[in-house]
Amino acid sequence: MALLEIDGVSKSFGGVAANVDISFAVTEGEILGLIGPNGAGKTSLFNAIAGEVTPDAGEIRLDGAPISGLGPVACAERGIARTFQVVRSFDSMTVLENVMVGAFSRAGHAPVAMRAAQETLEFCGLANRAGRFAWQLSPPEKRRLEVARALATQPKLLLLDEMLTGLTPTEAQEGVQLVRAVRDRGITVIMVEHVMEIVLPLVSRAVVLNLGRVLTIGAPAEIVKNPDVIRAYLGDRYAAA
């Protein structure tokens, strides 16, 4: 069953068409890759799904109910959580407190939120950093913190925007394991990533965007052979070769 349906979504900023007539569906329980070169419109699409921006045209549905235009708070309540391409943390708060902000979206009382946040930190491998301030974390730890904070809202759908970018290969592999563990909890994941070698082994399907449009959708094996994808990523010379 489709958890998320994106139906003809378009969005322009001034003269720039960030998303043009994008349509695809995300199946419950899958890890979907969202790839494409710089400026392809990946983050813009995340912003639309998470309610941060309202599409100019088209509709986004979660569990069959339209969510476009409801705003980020309503989207979070309905079960959409996200991380950000440029890390955002609550720097005056400790790691545990950061995650509690997310946990409070389901918990009414502090002890409940605290317990939930602590469990989430353990799940994300950050329990030993609970008392640090967010600004004291290393870059890969900050990425994990964003994931933990998002998971604490108990989402159905998790949007990860370049969570693995800039990490060493070892750190990236640890990140991949975390994403798998999230999926195994029954949470559907959409991952934006530049580096195809990292995403493709992880995802069941990938959507390739280019210049704001869907270039192709398919299984990883089909994606890497698709001449349009090769052209979009590497330029015409390589496609011909």
Ligand X SMILES: Nc1ncnc2c1ncn2[C@@H]1O[C@H](COP(=O)(O)OP(=O)(O)OP(=O)(O)O)[C@@H](O)[C@H]1O
Show the DSSP H helices in 18-109 as ranges.
42-49, 72-78, 95-103
Residue 153 touches which member of Mg ion, another protein, ligand X, none, C-beta under 5-8 Å by kind: another protein
Q: Does 85 bind ligand X (CB under 6 A)?
A: yes
Nearest approach in angstroms of CB 162 to ligand X is: 7
- Dist. CA 238–CA 241, nearest whole Å: 5
Q: Does 233 bind another protein (CB under 8 A)?
A: no
User: Of 19, 8, 165, nearest to 83 (Cα)?
Assistant: 165
User: Of 158, 169, 215, nearest to 195 (Cα)?
Assistant: 169
β-strand partners of 94: 133
Q: Which stretch binds another protein (CB under 8 A): 7-15, 57-65, 107-115, 174-182?
A: 107-115
- What x-and-dash track marks residues 68-87 binding Mg ion by CB under 5 A? -----------------x--
Residue 13 touches which member of Mg ion, ligand X, another protein, none, C-beta under 5-8 Å by kind: ligand X
Nearest approach in angstroms of CB 166 to ligand X is: 12
Residue 40 touches which member of Mg ion, ligand X, another protein, none, C-beta under 5-8 Å by kind: ligand X
Q: Which of residues 139-158 bind another protein (CB under 8 A)?
A: 149-150, 152-153
Residue 105 touches which member of another protein, Mg ion, ligand X, none, C-beta under 5-8 Å by kind: another protein
- Dist. CA 222–CA 204, nearest whole Å: 11
- Write the DSSP symbol of residue 196: H
Q: Are 161 and 82 in contact (CB under 8 A)?
A: yes
> Residue 185 in 3-state DSSP?
coil
| Gyration radius (Cα) of the chain, Å | 18
Contact residues: ligand X, CB under 6 A: 13, 16, 18, 36, 38-44, 85
